[in-house]
Structure 1
Amino acid sequence: MSELTAKRIAVKPAMQALFLVFRIGSERYALQAIEVAEVLPRLPLKPIPRAPDWVAGVFAYRGTVVPVIDLSALTFGLPAQARTSTRLVLVNYRPDETVEPQLLGLILEQATDTLRCNPADFQPYGLDNRQAPYLGPVREDAQGLLQWVRVADLLDEQVRALLFPSPPLDPALLEERP
């Protein structure tokens, strides 16, 4: 074994993770790729009456009804722009370890890039934004700041109960109502 090979083996590489990078307006955000189940083109959605404005609706995906939120509308009150790069990203939503992950759709603008970096590169940005607990630490690079969106913190208890009732509603019971 050469000396160079021995040094490479001895040096432990920094832990790298893959992130899906997207934009809300002109700002950059990232989701950890291990939370992403699938990236789809934007699809037609069935609206949910009396849901918050940022709940975009639901759609059928492989026999399951999946709720979808518009992250731009949730964060800044403006719906995502309909661009060719606007995607419907399915994530494994799991608010805590006691529940099984469920699919949640996110409408994301310019969700076309990925980034591989050390998660430790993201640092707290010093603001206590309790209105948006899903907005995590930031990472600075040549393009500016990139903010990590934490999937588990996207929904508060009230919206979670609307989108993921527990126990799930039985469709047969819904048909019996007058």
Structure 2
Amino acid sequence: MRIVGGRLRGLRLADLGEGDLAAHLRPTTDRVRESIFNLLINGSHGNPLPGARVLDLFAGTGALGLEALSHGAAEVTFVDDGAKAHALIRQNVDKARAGDLTRLIRRDATKLGPVRGPGFGVVFLDPPYGQGRGEAALASALQGGWLAPGATVIWEESRAPLLPAALTLLDRRSYGETVVTLARLVPSDLG
């Protein structure tokens, strides 16, 4: 596993092999990650990464958040409740020398509570497939104010997820057994 683009391109991340099913770690393949970032950077919806505050839910190895840093994000907050995931994220943050640009929260992504500080402009969501945890995490993030107005959400799942009314679909692509959904938080009318 490696960073596929940007200033950290080619950086080898901690090896997890095929994943750790007991810890629910299923890393996004380099090919799918490259496709996600090509879609974000080159899509017709505008590149949300430069200067963004990024939230990586179900962070696993931290590869998605570190890839975002490599492509110009200002900072990343990783959320995962697994001990193995935390060890991998710390290892990968150290490899990327990104400790001052990252924060690691050990918490169940489906029970976030209220955000401390401003919401995030880019949110990666890569839950264990087929368990409905992505929907629960997104509902928790919306309720707790974790998403900034107009935030971009990138959601990996084994099927097309049902988006909450607060999000509008921008794009959806299938890569083998992975469906990537790109959506945007509709800014509420303050009017």
TM-score range (shorter-chain normalised) is under 0.3
> TM-score with structure 2 length normalisation?
0.26
TM-score for the superposition, normalised by structure 1 = 0.27
Q: Name whichever structure is richer in strand by fraction.
A: 1
Greater per-residue helix proportion: 2
Answer 1 or 2: higher relative contact order, Cα 8 Å, separation at least 6: 1
